[in-house]
Amino acid sequence: SQTIHQWPATLVQPVGSPLSLECTVEGTSNPNLYWYRQAAGRGLQLLFYSVGIGQISSEVPQNLSASRPQDRQFILSSKKLLLSDSGFYLCAWSTGDVSTDTQYFGPGTRLTVL
């Protein structure tokens, strides 16, 4: 069966500090991978998605970036965090089946920027 991991689970960072969040998927090959952000009391905002190694699509211009160095690894980064970057960051995967594309979420990282 497939498993998705995210770490860290929680993070408190000062404004202007760098960020690196990691997501890994087990039990599947060549998944589609997604980064979402959920601000407090808000919906899911798609930040990035990837259909393969080194292939990243950005949905929202911001100070965040994503990379996919390995097939089942997806990294979210920032050089300088803003207060507005606080939120619940979720990684998701799907098989890439263009008829259904069911997405499965990791446990998430709660980021607080002070």
Partner 1 sequence: QKEVEQNSGPLSVPEGAIASLNCTYSDRVSQSFFWYRQYSGKSPELIMSIYSNGDKEDGRFTAQLNKASQYVSLLIRDSQPSDSATYLCAPYSGGYQKVTFGTGTKLQVIP
Identified binder of partner 1 from the candidate list 90, 93, 111, 113, rule CB under 8 A: 90
31 binds partner 1 (CB under 8 A): no
Identified binder of partner 1 from the candidate list 19, 86, 106, 111, rule CB under 8 A: 106
**In b/e form, how buried is each residue of 91-109, taking b as 16+ CB within 10 angstroms?**
bbbbbeeeeeeebbebebb
Amino acid at 21: L
**CA contacts within 13 A on the Cβ side of 5:** 9
61 binds partner 1 (CB under 8 A): no
User: Where does this chain bind partner 1 (CB under 8 A)?
Assistant: 34, 42-44, 46, 49, 51, 59, 88, 90, 98-108, 110
